[in-house]
Amino acid sequence: MDKYTGRCLELAKEAAERGEIPVGAVVVRLSDGRIIGEGSNECEEKRLPTFHAEMNAIIAACRFKGGWRLDDCVLYTSLEPCAMCAGAALNSHIKTVYFGARDTSGRGASALLRSAEYLREDECSRILKDFFRKRRMTVDNIRLIEAVSDDQLRTVAEIADEIWHEHFPKIIGAGQTDYMVDKFCTFEAEKENIEKEGYIYYKIKKGADDLGYTAIKPDGDRLFLSKLYLRQQYRGKGYSRQVLELHRKYAAEHGFSAIWLTVNRGNDIAIRAYEGLGFDRIGSGVADIGGGYVMDDYYFEIKV
Ligand SMILES: [Zn+2]
């Protein structure tokens, strides 16, 4: 028993090293004691809420067996399973679930299980506590929160409206600023960009503060950085560099060779900022955006 919990802890530690909430799980076949499926948390990497350690272990075990019935198996996991994973354990007919740490988040679902036991609770709890303590220590760093819900996208539109009207009239004039905000920065425009063009919008957060917003879009083998705007009071503090680092990490993980973007030729502050961040100017172009307006831009690129 202990060696299986030990393996869960190893998997949990590996998850922590990848920046995932550290949870590990294994499915053990009772007839020979063999681990036939293992998993660790991959929700950050996959950007999905379903890639829990237990789900991954159960899926691996089913693949190993070539079927969904795990009625000759038990599941070990370092954290009390959630409703989804408890459901998967029930549905795969797993006999018993052994787990380490109690889930104190209120999302645990041990009550759903017919048979469950705690193992090495202190150790399994400690790895989670250590992880969250370290993460709180990095709270000074900014985070990108993908804007998915209508509420989040409306907030992004409000931030865009504020930043655009503060920053762009002096560069492109009030008329074109109004035109571009109406055309490109509304909630409806964001929805269309996401649904039709594959954009991903993020709020830039530090603690509880909304620093600004950013948006990216896959463009062939490059990642197009469509937007990176900070509110006035947050500029010049190195946050753009942190956002860019997060985008570079995303680009590297998703196999993009470079990040590219456009900047208005008159936007000296942004041009200097991107050059300072290591972008190279690779061209320029004028695009008709309707309403009698054009976008007169430089193109910048940085290798990933
Ligand atoms: Zn779960």
Cα 224 to ligand 1 centroid, rounded to whole Å: 34
pLDDT in tens, 52-106: 999 999 999 999 999 999 999 999 999 999 999 999 999 999 989 998 888 877 7
Buried-state track 8-28, b at ≥16 Cβ within 10 A, e below 16: bbebbbebbeeebbbbbbbbb
Those residues of the chain that have pLDDT short of 50 are 139
Buried b (16+ CB within 10 A) or exposed e, 178-205: ebbbeebbbeebbeebbeeeebbbbbbe
123 catalytic per annotation? no
Å from CA of 87 to ligand 1 middle: 9
Rounded to 10 deg, the angle between the 187-197 and 150-167 helix axes is 110
Selection from 109, 56, 78 nearest residue 4 by Cα: 78
Centre of ligand 1 from the C-alpha of residue 2, in Å: 21
Q: Which of 20, 54, 80, 190 is catalytic?
A: 54
